[in-house]
Structure 1
Amino acid sequence: MTSHSPEPENPLAPDEALGDLLDQIAEQLGSPVPAHLQAALRAVPRHLFLPPTLWLRDGNGGHEPADREDEPDRWWRAAYSDAPLVTHFTESSDGDRFPSSSASMPSVVVRMLRALSAEAGHSVLEIGTGTGFNAALLAFLCGPENVTSLDVDPELTRRAQRALKACGRQPEVVCADGAGGWQPNAPYDRIIATCSVRTVPLPWLEQTVTGGLLVIPWDTPWCNFGMLHATKQADGTAEGTLAPYGSFMLLRAQQVDAELRAGMPPTGQEPERSVTAVSPWAVAGNDLDAQMYIGLRVPGAWHVWDTEVDEAHTRLRLADGRTSSWACVDYDGRQTSAFAVAQYGARKLWDEVTRAYEEYVAAGRPGVHRHRLRLIPDGRSTRLEVSVPA
């Protein structure tokens, strides 16, 4: 078990470092940080919740370490920068290491707390304790006796408990699968998740009071982006909108082994072949509004880019692990008016994606914020209804 080591002297002026961070957050928000959240950030030093080694993005899709003992200036600047920081890696069964916990970008933390509208006396359930930083902010805003925080990882739970004790704010932190909520302290006025979901677990809805708010990062296999702001209705449903910010790790209970295989298409499967005028970059490029629209309307569809294929300059691979359906869309490296398509399986994935994209264009290219979501209890889970009002 790794523990927080005694911290060296901060080489940065604390007030100056926090002031710089507040300025960075305000720039992202387009307005000053609300006074009550400024007070929370001043009362809860972020560095107390960070491990001695942080993993920073290296600019090449990976991460490199920043050690507090060896590189104090770099570590402290990262601690008070408006950036996400990977704090923990997990090793998969095949030996690959992947980020499994992180300290969220502070401006996203502020956006979520602002949307949550949590006040003194509100009962709050947090799904995903992580470092404990967000739980400490909630304890400042609502009172520690009103905050329950869950994390499925026992090591992270212990670290967070120690950091919360050092900070002097100790909400109830429980090592448990957040998908089940936490019935002993229910019902809750507010539920906030620091992990994304593809389906809102039914207990979250059931454990929220009528009129209560849920702030939950959203995810589809096609696009991990967006934040659900929803209000619990008297009929047991919840209604809300998506906000265009936030990209979080998926709730552990909803993680599935459905990676697209490098060997696709599999040998022996003869696909249907055609040509499309829809650019693969239009549906899987930098247009997150288009990606979210497609992700909500083509359930289960994944995509990944591949530049190491013999038959094409660049290939967009699509798949649905549940039906073994797949598709490939190839760019030949020369012209951008026609792209070769191969599709196989019960679902014609590229046809579904292009239909959704054409609907998106016909609807005036609605932004993420235009979507209205309705969560409906459905047996042991929830069902999603999506609309884009005219």
Structure 2
Amino acid sequence: MNWEHHAAALAERVTDPDSRWRDAVAGVPRHILVPNWWERGPEGWTLYRGEDDPQRWAQVAYGAESAVTSVGGQHADHAAPDDHPTGRPTSSATLAALVVKMLRHGRIGDGHDVLDVGTGAGGLTAHLARRIGDRHVTSVDVDPYLVDAARLRLAALGLRPACEAVDATGPLPGTYDRIVSTVGVRPVPTSWLAALRPGGRLVTTIRDTALILTAWKTPDGGARGVVERDWAGFMGTRHGADYPPGPVEAFEAAREADGEEVSTGRYPVADVRDGWEVWSFLSVSVPGIEYDYEECGGRRTAYLVHPDGSWARAEAARFEPPTVHQGGPRRLWSELESVRTRLLVEGGLPLYGCDATVRPDGTIHLSRGRWEATVT
């Protein structure tokens, strides 16, 4: 593979001509870090091996999408061609454009010691080590195999940052000028605040949202910053090989039950996960809410569930008002419709650009004008 050509084209696409990250992106053969991956198809998750299709390999490694490398805790490196794992993705090789975005928000300079939270395939670690030198880079992940594989593959590229297998919500190995996370957290782990040096900067996403939080360490042990006028979405932190089971019973009810309340919805059914501002605001307002969506035969169906047993199902053709079934202690579809109404009435939602204060216990307080919310 002529990886230099692909890497140079990628660098040109995702960085500005004068970007400090351009040479770092152009200098990393990313395909070495992603030899195998999963793609979702008609039979579920299907294994792809780069060596079997070099052209597809180049498209995945240097393309515009993240490549899922582990599903339900099963690594693509360990899979057989006829394996079709079930469950949620648990690791991926993040697309370079998103990696560069998070690094830019880090405001990383020469001499800074940086912690990369969420090693994954090692892409961000590689670009960071190329830019500031591997002795200034530490990368951590909860998955020991990912850490070992990344360490070996990075070493093959001549890069030897510190890579350690730790649960990032617990104690961290050292102190740092910058912490850049490609996993979502909610709240900010207190260990991150303890590991951040005075005047240091934190960059992460708030779990279950598309909100990028940037904050500077404050003397009280917390941090103060903003929700950037930008967006990104990552998997959330976990404590083992896989995530715990979701609210299965609530989803079953949402798919089958008649509901305690049946009504006609105000707005057409849409996949609100594609409307990042709406979904993020709903997730902040109703912590723990989960969503699913499907299209079949010209009809759209959306499902909302919550760990408290609440659920909602809305179904309609594209532009029709939906029939909405809801059950449990709260009306989740009504919560969503109130967010969509606020967006239309006010022309926007008060999340992006809002002030953010991270208290020493990790709680995130958001505020803008008369609106405020606390993320725990």
Bin for the TM-score computed over the shorter chain: 0.7 to 0.9
Q: Is 1:210–1:232's contact at 8 Å kept on the other side of the alignment?
A: yes
Q: Distance in 1 between matches of 2:97 and 2:346?
A: 31
- The answer to whether the aligner puts 1:240 opposite 2:226 as a matched pair is yes
- Counterpart position of 1:121: 111
TM-superposed CA distance for 1:105, in Å, is 0.6
Deviations 1:280-301 (A, max 9, x none): 43x8264322222222222222
Is the 8 Å Cα contact of residues 266 and 337 (structure 2) preserved in structure 1?
no
**Residue 294 of structure 1 corresponds to which residue in structure 2?**
282
Q: Could you tell me how far apart the structure 2 residues matched to 1:104 and 1:267 are?
A: 36
Residue 106 of structure 1 deviates from its aligned partner by 0.6
Deviates more, 1:60-69 or 1:97-106: 60-69
Identify the match of residue 383 of structure 1 among 355, 359, 363: 363
For residue 6 of structure 2, the aligned residue among 6, 17, 30 is 17
Asked whether the equivalents of residues 305 and 317 of structure 1 are also in contact (C-alpha less than 8 Å), the reply is: yes
Identity, in percent, stands at: 28
Q: 1:253 aligns with which of 236, 239, 261?
A: 239
Q: 2:92, 2:120 within 8 Å by CA — same for their partners in 1?
A: yes
- Deviation, 1:243, is 4.1
Q: Which runs of 5+ in 1 are unaligned?
A: 1-9, 27-31
Within 2, Cα distance between the matches of 1:271 and 1:296?
25
CA distance, structure 2, for counterparts of residue 218 and residue 70 of structure 1 = 38
Report the AA paired with residue 19 of structure 1. A
Q: Spell out, residue by residue over 1:153-200, the C-alpha distance to the aligned partner (whole angstroms, 9 max, x if none).
A: 111111111112212221111111111241x412x1100112122322
Worse-matched range after superposition: 247-256 or 165-174: 247-256
After superposition, the C-alpha distances for 1:81-138 in whole angstroms (9 at most, x for unaligned) are 233222333358x962543221111111111111112122212111111122322322
Q: How does 1:210-229 map to 2 (within 5 A)?
A: 210-220=198-208, 224-229=209-214
In 2: Cα distance, 1:334 partner to 1:246 partner: 27
TM-score (norm 1): 0.79
Q: Give the length in aligned residue pairs.
A: 357
Contact 1:228/1:243 (8 A) holds in 2: no
1:1-390 matches, cutoff 5 A: 10=1, 12=2, 14-26=3-15, 32=16, 34-51=18-35, 53-56=36-39, 64-91=46-73, 96=86, 98-182=88-172, 184-186=173-175, 188-220=176-208, 224-238=209-223, 239-253=225-239, 255-259=243-247, 261=249, 262-265=251-254, 271-281=260-270, 284=272, 286-306=274-294, 313-321=299-307, 323-331=308-316, 333=317, 336=320, 338-366=321-349, 369-378=352-361, 382-389=362-369
Moved more, 109-118 or 206-215: 206-215
Letter of the 1:80 counterpart: Y
Contact 2:187 2:363 survives alignment (8 Å): yes
Query: How many angstroms does 1:23 deviate by?
Result: 2.6
Q: State the SS of the aligned residue for 1:23.
A: helix
SS at match of 2:333: helix
Pairwise CA distance, 1:363: 2.9
Distance in structure 2 (CA, Å) of the matches to 1:218 and 1:67: 33
User: SS of the residue aligned with 1:178?
Assistant: coil
Aligned residue number for residue 29 of structure 1 = none
Contact 1:296–1:386, Cα closer than 8 Å, also in 2:
no
**Residues 274-318 of structure 1, C-alpha deviations (whole Å, 9 max, x = no match):** 33323343x826432222222222222222225579xx9543222
Q: 8 Å contact 1:136–1:170 — kept in the other structure?
A: no
Cα distance change on mapping 1:83 and 1:319 into 2, 3 Å: closer
Q: Structure 1: which amino acid aligns with 2:29? A: P
Kept after mapping to 1: 8 A contact 2:70/2:92: yes
Counterpart Cα distance in 2 of 1:81 and 1:354 = 36
- After superposing on structure 2, the runs of 4+ consecutive aligned residues of structure 1 that deviate more than 6 Å are 266-269
Task: Return the alpha-carbon distance in structure 1 between the equivalents of residues 31 and 310 of structure 2.
Answer: 46
TM-score normalised over the length of structure 2: 0.82
The one-letter code sitting in structure 2 at the alignment partner of 1:349 is L
Which residue identity is paired with 1:149? S
Contact map agreement 1:260 1:304 (CA 8 A) in 2: no
**Counterpart code for 1:168:** G
1:177 and 1:335 mapped to 2: Cα distance? 46
| 8 Å contact from structure 1 (residues 260, 317) kept in 2 | no
- 2:130 aligned partner, one-letter code: F
